[in-house]
Structure 1
Amino acid sequence: MSTHHTHSDLHSEQGGTAGEHPGRARNPVVKVRDLAWLEFEKPDLAAAEKFGHVFGFSTSLRTADELHLRGTLAGSPAVLIRRGARSRFTGPAFRADCDADVLRLADHLGTRVSPLRESLGGITVDTLDPSGARVRVVSGTHELDALPDQEPLVHNTGTEVPRTNSTQRPPAEPARVQRLGHVVLQTNKYRAALDWYLENLGLIVSDFQYYEGQRELGPTMSFIRCDRGSEPADHHTLAMTLGPSNRYVHSAYQVTDLDALAAGGEVLLEAGYHRSWGIGRHIQGSQIFDYWRDPDGFMVEHFTDGDMFDNTLEPGWAPMTASGLAQWGPPVTKDFLGLRPGKDSIAEARAIASALRRNDSDFTRTRLKGLLKVASS
């Protein structure tokens, strides 16, 4: 397999150097194809469904104790929410290429394959990553039919004028979510968790980031995609970042184009929901983004126009800085960085103190200094 050896012209400042993490396993157990869905527990399903519809989901299942939210594309629901005593993220589900891969993974992990509920169909192998997060790998699930999608607008660009004698009027409606794109997780066992996903699920790294002045200590964030061979996959299906606690950071959902994203944002604002950060365009992944908080405080992202890579690209490497999160857009907010005063920042401060007292955490005093430098950069 031939690979590109630098990303100076693609998506990062520079490629890796000799001895740095290669960003992929030599012989992974299986290669998952995509994220299937994300699972949450929440006490108020009515509030979750109301926000979901304004955000752009449709309901595919609603019972007294369960809510499934889906996008317009055919496939599985994107988000599964079960009634629980408190709001929490319970884990991602990845889609295997076939039933045989689920069986192979279960055999390798020394666990069993279980049937999923009839509402989903198919089978799953459930396990824990090194951070203690529950991970599902599923196959054979029911396929939902596609729903009507928003049509992308026809744009006049420079000398190309495909639209004449007609006006541009994006509808004032929620952006219709097409599909789940990625999830971002924080872990204090970053290296072990990264290697676990690469070795067991066959994921490969698109971009590494490291704390300024600490590159020799290894990366502290990775944007990780599915290995579909020559078939392009999202720049990242999973992103992992080093931090004092093991937690959900955000998840992202694709919409048709910038107009759908922006008009949908106006609907969210008018409904009283909180924009965390946006609108802008990222560097790693290139997505146009818009971040929101749901009623339980979970961060969710609308995105469009993201990078798609096949498996011939090796990882890019770049320093992690707050100013390097976007090519353009408003300055990154304290809310997005987790620095806004409140219960979440207090919990993270407590997690820092706890992590620094432990011997099994990758989050050390040196790493804390690097993280503080990121926040002020």
Structure 2
Amino acid sequence: MLHLPFPLVSRLPDVGTTIFTTMSRLAQECGAINLSQGFPDFSADDALFERVAHWMRSGHNQYAPMAGVAALRDAIAAKVSGLYGADYDPEHEITVTAGATQALFTAVAALVHPGDEVIVFEPVYDSYVPAIQLQGGVVRRARLSAPNYRPDWDAVRQLVSPRTRMIMINTPHNPSGSVWTASDLQALAALTRDTGIVVVADEVYEHIVFDGVRHESAALYPELAARSVIVSSFGKTFHVTGWKVGYVLAPRALMAEFRKVHQFNVFTVNTPVQLALADYMEDPARYGGLAAFYQAKRDFFREGLAGTGFELLPCAGTYFQTVRYGAISDVADVDFVDWLTRRVGVAAIPLSAFFGDARDEKVIRFCFAKRDETLLAAFERLQRFC
């Protein structure tokens, strides 16, 4: 084994392998049912695959424009206008990205300077904080607490300072499954009014909101939209997380800065997939029916856990269900999911992984974006041991 002939100083000394990679690897090693990492185990529509093959065979296999294929940006603009009444210029205000994580990283890299403060809401998706730290930003954490994981706007207001450059929000929220309300977006608009604060709105689960509730996009609020970088994901919407294609909406001045970074850390995204997505989006029902599809899975999953010792927490959106396990065990959540994977044969995610201080509320997260037969097999194991 070769050894470095000099000391290496890490840019991320406190970061190891993500919990998603760790739990998926453990699930595979143990032959466990993987309800940890957030991806479906069912396929997308064949019609989408056919459009990808069509564009590949038609010779569209070279670089797309840096900002994305024009037809896809036009389709995104039409969707956003129809859903939220917001008009984004496809030429200057929409960019196609290599998934949502790249979009989030690029937004932070483009807009956060060393010493700038960025407010995040924890439990926080694990890519936010490293992106901030790599730019020399300072993380400020607002806490969302079980069982409802609602923002406390008085507490958030106390975090705002003259150094606050950005607030990163996520609704519908991963990992908790909570959904922000109109009053939350209005509070955010009031909080940022007359400031230089940029909002990064992670809305990748925008189409997965339950019980007739409307997704409150930042695009719905002109005052917020004027200072927001909004991120969404085709992978989450069309069951193709491995394609890693997303997009960003932002006013022209913010998008110009975003693209300065985007052109060097990705440049552009898979051409035939972009063209296929543009074709596929011509029918709004292909994303409009997603809420009902996943609500049925949520209800099925909750019914399947009803005979266990898990306490089901509210799930208003996303394809994640959080549960308390205190009636089953008093061990730490990381130890509980290890036992659950090795002994029970079902993998989950400990919520302490989403807190900067590893706060343990005895809550874990399951992903229910799975075939019914997968979920039934998980129920059988969980009902036997839990």
TM-score, shorter chain, exceeding 0.5: no
Q: Which has the higher helix share?
A: 2
- TM value normalised by structure 1: 0.27
Does 1 or 2 have the higher relative contact order (CA < 8 Å, sep 6+)?
2
- TM value normalised by structure 2: 0.26
